[in-house]
């Protein structure tokens, strides 16, 4: 009796051990599979090319308005290079009057294209399209000591 009982118990232990091994192996296999499927994920980045779309050509617009500020120290930048056909805007940042005028003072005949018809006060601005190529000197007619150079290419 004792022998048959212990023999039955041994058989049960073997079955339980076998079940544990099978479960452990199956669990390890599933985990590995999960790890593999995660490791296989990288392919999505290959679908990235569309994200490389944004090429900003608008940032290098040669037709952009070139701004020249009139400050208490004079025109800034003092020398500016633009393309023919480009717009130039003079902005008065001072509390003084500004009237952009061609050299020479006071006749303003060398590059009359740039001559402002009237003065503007603080915050005022004057915009024009520059067409004639050359290197043109100008000044604030109200304060002729403030000069600038506009190069049109």
Residues that bind Cu ion (CB under 5 A): 101, 105-106, 141
Given a contact cutoff of 8 angstroms between Cβ atoms, the answer to whether 115 and 102 are in contact is: yes
Q: In angstroms, give the least distance from the CB of 101 to Cu ion.
A: 4
- Nearest CB to Cu ion, comparing residues 88 and 114: 114
The answer to whether 147 touches 121, Cβ cutoff 8 Å, is no
User: Which is closer to Cu ion, CB of 125 or CB of 147?
Assistant: 147
Helix (H, G, I), strand (E, B) or coil at 12: helix
Q: Give min distance, CB of 132 to Cu ion, in A.
A: 19
| Minimum distance of Cu ion from residue 50's CB (angstroms) | 57
Identify which of residues 86 and 148 has a Cβ nearer to Cu ion in the complex: 148
Give whole-number Cα distances, 58 to 55, 76, 120, 127, 150, in Å: 9, 25, 31, 21, 24
């Amino acid at each position: 009796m004792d022998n048959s009982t212990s023999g039955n118990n041994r058989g049960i232990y073997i079955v339980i051990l076998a079940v544990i091994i099978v479960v452990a192996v199956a669990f390890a296999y599933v985990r590995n599979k999960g790890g593999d499927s995660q490791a296989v994920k990288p392919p999505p980045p290959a679908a990235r090319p569309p994200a490389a779309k944004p090429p900003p050509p608008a940032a290098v617009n040669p037709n952009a308005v070139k701004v020249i500020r009139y400050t208490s120290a004079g025109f800034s930048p003092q020398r500016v290079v633009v393309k023919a056909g480009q717009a130039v805007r003079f902005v008065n940042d001072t509390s003084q009057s500004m009237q952009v005028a061609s050299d020479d003072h006071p006749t303003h005949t060398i590059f009359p294209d740039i001559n402002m018809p009237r003065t503007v006060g603080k915050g005022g601005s004057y915009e024009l399209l520059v067409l004639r190529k050359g290197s043109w000197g100008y000044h604030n007619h109200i304060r002729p000591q403030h000069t600038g150079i506009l190069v049109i290419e």
